[in-house]
Amino acid sequence: MTAKATKPETDRGYTKSDLDDVSDTPEFTADEMAKGKPFAEAFPELATRAKRVRGRQKAPTKQLISLRLDRSVIEAFKSEGPGWQRRVNEVLKAAVRGR
């Protein structure tokens, strides 16, 4: 059995060797900073995807269930494009209100 070589680490998980490897990287100048583009402009597709990511709800307002629907019902809602599950929910809410 061999002992693992341990590296002294800084408080952020980088070793002294890691920091020494990048220590000669010059800081950005004001001119270089002025030439920089906003993230959304430099990487529009990535920025769009990042905006759509949602975390957990603090207080969920909906309940996850399993529901069997006719294939034709699902196809009709899906044919209208994204948001079909929301539209199904709206139709069901309207039906409950109309009882």
- Chain segment 14-58, per-residue pLDDT in tens: 888 888 888 887 888 999 999 999 999 999 998 888 776 667 777
Of residues 7 and 19, which shows the higher confidence score? Answer: 19
For residue 1, pLDDT over 50 is answered with: no
For residue 90, pLDDT over 80 is answered with: yes
Q: Report the alpha-carbon distance of residue 57 to residue 64 in Å, rounded.
A: 13
Q: Report the alpha-carbon distance of residue 97 to residue 91 in Å, rounded.
A: 10
Looking at this protein, which amino acid is placed at residue 87?
Answer: R
Of residues 24 and 98, which shows the higher confidence score? Answer: 98
Calculate what percentage of the chain has a pLDDT beyond 70: 86
